[in-house]
Chain A
């Protein structure tokens, strides 16, 4: 058994306090208390310090879980990659403090636009990722557009009386429903659409064109319309 009294927890508790993590209510050094401390540490290590969003590590774990889930359930799931347009200019013109304000404001706006079940992560400096489980393919673009619009409507206060607006570009791809893909391939596909959105002028959302592998009744009808496969007669 672990002797809890022998553990040096000062640094841990200080870190949790500094991060604003709620310290456990239980009596110190009991099993329940230690468990709560560990849970708080886990939570802390899965979040991005600046925005409070899920960080890259936890995003990757969530994405792998979603790939497995989609393969099993066959549900459509959308991955959106989002990047703040011309963010370097914000930093260069207004300073890094202003840049941090912008990142926080965008993070909050995005998180408030999507459903509670969706996962918003900060995966890089000014780059975010959104996993949208059970998102029907025909609403994908509307969802991405709503996020884009919401951010563009923001008036971000970067200093006393100093307001700034930013735009974002989004790229998205649906997890292939008929197979078990890999998180990396999925991310690459969404990233490719993000590059496309950037290349096409920014402040826009691009989704990978849907490839419908199902063959509709109309297609089948046309396919067999004049084939007469039941005859043995040679053709001219």
Chain B
């Protein structure tokens, strides 16, 4: 399976606009951006037109993960110094990125302007892609919650670390109540053993059922979308700032990400 799309075979994007998927995590450093970038590549390899939007406005690091040095970013689009076309860049892996850029710190506070601009940009890119992945910040700040609220679906990335699980639980709890989400996807990254994802997902679901509990007549489902085992190839790709799916396509983690893409495509 190639991770680059064939430019000679253009096809119109999904009718009705891209599906929007927010990738978030309760805690930072759990591989949220890593999962987003590689998932984008896996979806692109399946012939999907994918845009990753760096919605981690305050502390964007998608450029670091992908080793990109953009001249124009979302910041320039916000300040009208660049058009959207100029700021959307091709990334390794055959997908497109819209990077936040370092000038975005001023947008880390959610003002009506930031909100409207983000909403506007997502509306503009939706007709051109099959998938828009929002790489949000970690935690439950209102910028993060707002970015998530713009997406149809949410993927929460967590590792089996107790702090990561606790923060993932808090995030899911807030999303289930405040955003009235009925279904949230879970990716367990850096799993130590086979089946750990299922175990963690089941446990989270139980606690949610007990302490959050859906409103009468409603159900809440936390669905395990992927389990990515701890893998030396991941560490190497991260350190070399390479896309794992391109450089270590045969490793266990790459297979897990491809399975995640398959599951997302339904």
Seen from chain A, the residues whose Cβ lies within 8 Å of a Cβ on chain B are 176, 178-182, 184-185, 209, 211-216, 218-220, 222-227, 229, 231-236
Contacts and interface: CB of A to CB of B under 8 A. Distances in A.
B212 to A, nearest CB: 9
Given A211-B177, A236-B195, A223 B170 contact: no
A233 B193 CA distance: 6
Interface in B145-181: 160-162, 165-166, 169-170, 173-174, 177-178
Contacts of A225: 203
Nearest to B200: A227
Closest 8 CB pairs of A and B: A235-B195, A234-B194, A179-B141, A234-B193, A179-B142, A211-B178, A184-B112, A211-B177
B198 interface: yes
Contacts of A176: 142
Given A215-B169, A235-B195, A185 B207 contact: no
B112 A223 contact: no
A227 to B, nearest CB: 6
Contacts of B110: 179-182, 185
A227 B211 contact: no
B170 A213 contact: yes
A181 to B, nearest CB: 5
Contacts of A181: 110, 142
B109 interface: yes
Contacts of A179: 110, 141-143
Interface in B188-216: 192-196, 198-200, 203-204, 206-207, 210-211
Given A211-B173, A235-B194, 6 more contacts: A180-B110, A181-B142, A215-B169, A216-B211, A234-B193, A234-B194
Contact of B166 (A218, A220, A231): A220
B207 A223 contact: yes
Contact of A213 (B111, B160, B173, B195): B173
Contact of B203 (A226, A231, A234): A226
B174 A213 contact: yes
B104 to A, nearest CB: 16
B98 to A, nearest CB: 23
Nearest to B176: A211
A182 B111 contact: yes
B40 interface: no
22 contacts: A180-B109, A180-B110, A180-B142, A181-B142, A211-B177, A212-B173, A213-B170, A214-B170, A216-B211, A219-B211, A220-B166, A222-B206, A223-B165, A223-B203, A224-B162, A224-B165, A225-B203, A227-B200, A229-B162, A234-B194, A235-B196, A235-B198
Contacts of A209: 177
A213 B167 CA distance: 9
Contacts of B207: 219, 222-223
A223 B193 contact: no
B140 interface: yes
B9 to A, nearest CB: 41
A198 B109 CA distance: 32
Given A179-B142, A213-B140, A223 B169 contact: yes
A229 B160 contact: yes
Contacts of A219: 169, 207, 211
Contacts of B173: 211-213, 215
